[in-house]
Structure formats: C-alpha cells, structure tokens
Amino acid sequence: MDSPISQLAAKRPRSDSAANESLPSPEYIRSAPWFEDGNVILEVERVRFKVYMGILAANSVIFRDMFAVARADKGDDVEGCPVVHLEDNPKQLAYVLDALHDSRKWIEDNDEGKPMPLTILAAFLRIGRKYEIDHIRKKAIQRLAVAFPTELGKCRDTFRQGYAKSISLRHTAGDLLLLINIIRENELLVHLPMAFLKCITRDLKDPKDPAHMSLFFPSLGIQQPILAYKDIELCVKASRTILRLQITDLFSWTQTFYVHGCGSNVCAERRRQLALPLFNPNPNAEHLFYTFNNWNSSWSTRFCQECDTYNRKKFAEAQQKLFDMLPSMFQLPEWDDLRAKWSS
C-alpha cells in the first residue's frame, strides 16, 4: 500500500524540486566517534558515525563485505563518504567503534583491572558476535570468566573477593538479572551456574541490606520481572537443593559423634555447637556463602588434629560434589560440555 505522502503526491502533481521544498528534511545526529577525515558513514536509527573504512574492514569481514557492496552501489554520499545503514543499538555500536578506533578503551591490558560496565560488556558481546569482531567479543568473555568462573578453585576466590573488579553491576538496578539474559542471548551458558548462584545469594539477603536483590526485580517501567519466570523457578528450586545438601553433605561432619583417633573429649560437643547456627530453620545468604567459600580457619581451632583433618576432608569432598552438581540444578549440561560447547 502506498504511503500517505505518496498518495498526496499523486493527487497534487508538482515538480520534484517543489515536493522537496515542501517536505521537511530529515535530521540526523552526529555522534562520536566522528572523524572529519573519516571515509565512511555508518547510520543507525538516524544516528551517524563518521569513521575509517580500513579500520573496520581490518577487524571484521562482515564490515569489509558491506563496504564492498556500498562502493559498488554508488548510492547517495554524505560529505563525500558512502553511507552504510545498520540495524543496531546506536549506543552499543558507539562503544565498539570507540574501542576499535582507540585501543586505550577496554582493549589494552592495562584496562583489565578496571571494572567493565554492563552496558559496554553487552555491546562487546552483541556487536562483536554480529560482525565477527572476535577480539572485542573475547574481551567481554574474559570479564565473564573472571566474574563467573567454571573451576572450583576460582569459584572460591570469587566468593571471597566478589566480581566488582571484573564487571561493574548496579544491584539497585537489577544488573545481575539483566546479565543472566545477556549470557543466555549470547549462548555463553558456561557462566550461568555461578551467575544464578550469585542471584540466589542476593535474593536471600535481608531486604534492608543494600546488597539485597529480589529475583522478581521488575524491568524498567513495567511490572514484568527482568528474569524469565522459568529462570526464577530454577533459582528457587536450586536454593532449596543447595541448602539441603549443605546439611546432608557440606556440613555432615558437624553431625559426626566420634572421629577415629580423636584425642579430645570436647570435639563432639564443639561440632554440635557449630552446627546450631548453620542448621537454622530460617536460611539466609550466609548459609549459601559457605557453599564454595574457603574453609574457615577459625573452625580448625576448635578441634583436635585428627578431627580437623577429618572435617576438612569431608568439607572438600562435599564442595566438589556440589560444584559438579551445580549446572544440573539449572537444567544445564555438565561442566565439561558447557566448557566445550557454550563458552565462546
């Protein structure tokens, strides 16, 4: 069907020049990066970027092929440059163009100690994947690997240090939940188990705690939760499973009455005293915090050497078991499959 403008033009014929004078000229926004000596203009949602064709072509075979088509078509030029129309988020495209034209922005090694904002991480993943800019996408994946590791030893470090040094997340805005969706969208499922576990620990915190974040945190402007209902259900079920396994496995040693070779008559009572707060009927985030955290050295001071050795062994074995089970709690493949197929 013809547009209203074309219908009006058919009823009231006029010269092309008269028609052009009567219609408002489209307005475009010049956005950084904009180089006066650039040789190609990228346009997305009426936002334009003037950049260097050679830089983009060298980093992306997709851009290289698009530029070849643009030169062959010889369409309208702007400031002597071909215009290439894209269908992307302008802000995300700007982040990637900035990084490609200025290696000091998130590309050089000296930026690895600086937390990457979620908006930039999402842009590097999405734009990097779409245009096959592998090193840009890899930078974002490296941040995810640090924040949500896939090895037990590194998971312990993350529980102790947090992920703030790798990715900057605003919990008051539900960024961690948004990140779950971004990970799914980019099929980087290997990082979901630990990301889900972080969501659960935030949800179980006291609502008055600034670090609290409900699994039902709503999307901006609407009442729909950020997290898919299926993922919320998975988190709820997983939290119950983990809390149960903490009693039956992780802290099973606190329920042991006697350890062979124990040279103290108070170890059994001290195990019982230690178990009381751990098996509180009202679970909170502190319970889950122990799941993959390091052994608490203060526990060792309560027991004889034989009991301490036994307790540590049971704790380590249970941690490994919990870690191995973690992906299945969220209906994901085993760790080896995740690493092989869903990590890049």
**SS3 state of residue 258:** coil
The pLDDT, as a whole number, for residue 203 is 85
pLDDT tens, residue order, the chain (344 aa): 443 333 333 333 444 444 444 444 568 899 999 999 999 999 999 999 999 999 999 999 999 999 988 776 776 788 888 999 999 999 999 999 999 998 777 765 555 668 999 999 999 999 999 999 999 999 999 999 999 999 999 988 887 776 667 899 887 789 999 999 999 999 999 999 999 999 998 887 777 777 778 898 888 777 799 999 999 999 999 999 998 898 889 999 988 888 999 978 889 888 888 887 777 666 555 666 678 888 888 899 999 999 999 999 999 999 999 999 999 999 999 999 999 999 99
* Burial environment of residue 249 by CB neighbours within 10 A (0 to 12, 13 to 18, 19 or more): middle
Three-state SS annotation for 68-134:
HHHHHHCCCEECCEEEEECCCCHHHHHHHHHHHHCCCCCCCHHHCCCCEEHHHHHHHHHHHHHCCCH
State phi, psi for 114 to the nearest 5 degrees.
Answer: -100, 125
Tokens of 245: 């396994």
The pLDDT, as a whole number, for residue 103 is 76
Question: What is the distance of C-alpha 234 from the center of its chain?
Answer: 18
Rg (CA), the chain: 28
The pLDDT, as a whole number, for residue 156 is 86
The count of other CB atoms within 10 Å of the CB of residue 224 is 11
d(CA 216, CA 41): 42
Q: For residue 278, give the amino acid letter.
A: L
The pLDDT, as a whole number, for residue 104 is 74
Phi-psi region of 228 (alpha: psi -120 to 50; beta: other; left: phi over 0): beta
Whether residue 128 contacts residue 97, with contact meaning beta carbons closer than 8 Å, is answered with no
Q: How is the chain split into domains, by residue range?
A: 4-88, 150-344
**SS3 state of residue 311:** helix
Q: For residue 214, give the amino acid letter.
A: S
Whether residue 309 contacts residue 291, with contact meaning beta carbons closer than 8 Å, is answered with no
The count of other CB atoms within 10 Å of the CB of residue 65 is 11
State phi, psi for 328 to the nearest 5 degrees.
Answer: -65, -25
Whether residue 176 contacts residue 169, with contact meaning beta carbons closer than 8 Å, is answered with yes
The pLDDT, as a whole number, for residue 282 is 61
The pLDDT, as a whole number, for residue 280 is 66
Q: Where are the alpha helices (DSSP H) in the chain?
A: 4-11, 16-22, 53-59, 61-73, 90-101, 118-130, 134-147, 152-161, 175-185, 192-204, 229-245, 267-278, 285-289, 297-300, 305-329, 335-341
Whether residue 63 contacts residue 40, with contact meaning beta carbons closer than 8 Å, is answered with no
pTM of the full predicted structure? 0.84
